[in-house]
Chains A and B, each alone.
Chain A
Amino acid sequence: MAAVVPDYELAELYTRAFRVGALGLGWQRLLGPPDLSLAAEAEKEEEEDAAVAAALGCAPGTAAELRAVCSIDMLMSCEKEEDPDVIPEDSSLLTLRIRKKTLERREETIIVDRACRQETLTYEMESHATGKRPDNPTDLIEEGELLLILNIFYPVIFQKHKDHKPYQTVLVLGSQKLTELRDSISCVSDLQIGGEFSSQPDQAPEHISKDLYKSAFFYFEGIFYNDKRYPECRDLSRTIIEWSESHDRGYENLQSVKMEDYSFNDLSLKIGFPYLYCHQGNCEHIIIITDIRLIHHDDCLDRNLYPLLVKKHWLCTRKCFVCKMYTARWVTNRDSLAPEDPCFFCDVCFRMLHYDAEGNKLGEFLAYPYVDPGIFN
C-alpha cells in the first residue's frame, strides 16, 4: 500500500478519498520511536546534555545553556501560588478582560452555577476512558494504530433538530472490523417489539427487532458492506444496486461485499463526507468520519473498550400521560379510555387503567410496546 497524504477535495469541508491504512503508513514512515511510543508518561527526566548536543550538532556547553534558557520556567509565573480561577485585575490580555466581563455577568444572572446533569454526562463520556490501560497486556493497543472518530447521526427527526441533527461520537480503531462498529451502534429501532398485545400484555415476546432482522450494511465510497454473518442476513443493498444499474443514472459501479471481511484500515474513505449505515431494512443513519489520527499514550489503550462511545445526544424521554413520572412503555391507539391518540403509558398505569383485577381487558384499544428513543440516556 503506497503512502498517501490526505487533502481537501472541497475546501474546509471534506477530503479526497484515501486508504485509511496508507495514512498510518505515511505517518509511521516520517516519525521515530519516541513519537509513536505509548509508554506511560515518565516523570520529568531531563535529557542528558550530551544527547542534546549530539542531536543538534552543537557543543555540550551550548546544550546546557539551552536547557537553562529554554526551560519552561522562563514562561511561568515565578510568584507565589496563583489561583487560576482568579483573573488578574489589570490584565493586558483582551481575552481575559472579555472573559472577566462574561463571568461577572454570569454571576449576576445565574443563581446557582453548577454543572447540570447533561454537562456532567458529556464530560464523563468524553473523559472516562482517557488513559485507561488493560489488565491483560494482549489487549493493549499497538503503536502506530489509527484512531477514527465517527459521528453517527440519529434517525430521529424532530422539528427542533432541523438545524443541528443530534449525533453520537464513536472512536474506533483502524484494525477493528466493520462488524464491531455495527454491533456497537445502539439504535432504538433495534429494540422495537413488533405486534399488538392488548389481549396478552404479559406475553410481550422476548424477541426484539435486533434479533429478528439482522441485516445491515454500511455504504462507503461506492461499496456496500453487508453483514452476512448469520444465515438470516439479507443483502439489503441489492435493491439499490439493481436500481442504479437499471438505467444510466450516473453512478459508478456499485459493489456489494461482506462487512465481516473488512477492517477500517482496508477502506477508502473521505474525511468529513457523509456515508450511510442502514439496518432494520429502513432505519438509516448518516455516518461522518470527522478525524483520523495516530493513537496517543493519553488515549484509552484497552482494545476491548473500542468502539468507544464518547458523546451522545441527550433525548428527553416521553413520560407516561397519567403519572408524568415514569418513562412510557406502552402506546395505545383507538383507545376509548385514553384522552388522545396515540397515548403513552408507563407499565403500571397502563395495566391499572386498561385491565381489571383479574386481568381482563377493559374497553377497546390497540396496545403496542413502546421503546423511547431516550432509553439510552
Chain B
Amino acid sequence: MSAVPGLKEDCEELLGAFQQADTVRFERFAELWRERRFHTIFYGRMRALERNKITKKTLDVAQQYFFPPYSFQIRVGALYLLYGLYNAQLCQPKQKIRIALKHWPEIQKFQLDLLDAQHYDAVYIFRRLRLARAFHFTAMPKLLTYRTKKKIEKNYFKEEFKDPSNRVNSLITNDVLEELMNIHDHYQKMKCVISADKSQPDKALSLIKDDFVVNLKDITLEHQEWQQNRMKLLRNAKVVPETEDKKKEETLLKSEGSERANALARIKYKSYSAVVEVSRSRRHRQVQLESSESGPSCGKSPGRSKKASRTPQPARRSEMQVTEETVTRHIGMPVIIEEDSEE
C-alpha cells in the first residue's frame, strides 16, 4: 500500500513536540493538537472508498508509534494520537485500530506502568478506546498479501523517539541483582559456617570484594542516568558539525550540582550560532565517543572509591566527586577506574 504523503512527517512533528514538552499529560497533548488543528487531517473532498483507505492507512501509521522500541513518552503520545485520530475520522462506521496478539502483553505491561506511575489520564483514555470497541483483535499487525515489493521500504525508526538501547540494564536487571544479592549473602553465611569464628568468615576465605553487588548496582544506575542525560542533551541541543574544535568533556553526573550544570550547558549551546543539523545518514557520527583521559590535567575525574566503609545502599553521589561539567556537543563515556588500583 502506498503511504499517505506527508502523514508520517505530521505525526512525527506532533509527537516530537510532545516529547519536547517533557510531559505525559493529555492536557498538554490536546494543546499541541489544537494548535495544529490536527483533527482536519481527514479533510478534503474524497469519496467514501478513498476515505476508507486513507483512514485505514492513517491509523496504521499512528499505531506503529504505540509499541516498543519507542520510548515511554512517545508511546503515551501515540496513544493520545490514536484516540484523537479514531474520534476525528469521518468514516461511518469507524475504521478500527488493529492490535496483534503478540503486542497485547506489551500493552498490558504499558498499562500497568501507567497505573503505577499514576498517569490516570493515559489509562482513562485507553479505557475509553477499549469501551468504544475501537480495536480489531488480529493475528498480525498488517494484512499479509504475499506482495514481494520491488523496493522494500525499510521500516526506519526515528532515532530520537527510540528509547536509548539499554543493553546494560537489560543484562543486569533488578531480578539479576536480587539474585546476586541472595547468592552473595548465602555465600557469606557459608563462609561463616565453616570458619572458626562463627560470626565472621576467616581472612583466608576472603576472595572477593564484599560489596561488589552493591557496586554493580551503582554502576548500572550511573550508566542509565548518563544515558538519559545524553539523550536529553542530544535532543535539546542543535548539533554542530564535527569539524569544529572539540573541547575536553567530562561525564555528566546527576546530582544537585548537575542541575545547574545542565542549565549552564544549555546556555552554552544556545550561544552558538549558525547551527547545522547533521543529516540523518550522518547522525550516527555526530556523537563522539571519546574516552576522557584520566590524568591530572583532566581535573577530578569521577571515581568510585571502593572503600569498605561505604554504606551499601543506593548512594546518592554525595561522596563522589562531582566534576565541573563543561558539557559541549560531544559527550564521552563515563570513566570507570580500574579496580586493580585499589584493594
Contact = CB atoms under 8 A, between A and B. Distances in A.
Main secondary structure of the interface of A (DSSP, over half): mixed
B187 to A, nearest CB: 39
Given A85-B43, A126-B49, A291 B140 contact: yes
A97 interface: yes
B267 interface: no
Contacts of B84: 72, 75
A95 B128 contact: no
Interface residues of A, number: 72
Interface in B67-97: 83-84, 87-88, 90, 93-94, 96
A47 B47 contact: no
Contacts, number: 191
Contact of A272 (B44, B87, B90, B144): B144
Nearest to A3: B101
Interface string A47-70: 100001001111000100010011
B121 interface: yes
A268 B118 CA distance: 43
Contacts of A84: 42-44, 90
B44 A293 contact: no
A93 interface: yes
B145 A288 contact: yes
Contact of B143 (A57, A85, A123, A291): A291
Interface in B86-114: 87-88, 90, 93-94, 96, 98, 100-102, 104, 108
Interface in A90-125: 91-100, 103, 115, 119, 122-123
A34 B131 contact: yes
B47 A35 contact: no
Contacts of A85: 43-45
Interface stretch (B26-34, B237-245, B268-276): B26-34
Of B33, B118, B123, most A-chain CB atoms within 10 Å: B123
A41 B125 CA distance: 19
Given A75-B83, A290-B143, A293-B139, 11 more contacts: A27-B101, A56-B127, A66-B120, A93-B40, A94-B6, A96-B43, A103-B44, A119-B47, A131-B93, A272-B144, A294-B136
Interface of A: 5-8, 12-15, 23, 26-27, 30-31, 34-35, 37, 41, 47, 52, 55-58, 62, 66, 69-70, 72, 74-77, 82, 84-88, 91-100, 103, 115, 119, 122-123, 126-127, 130-131, 149, 151, 271-274, 288, 290-294, 296-298
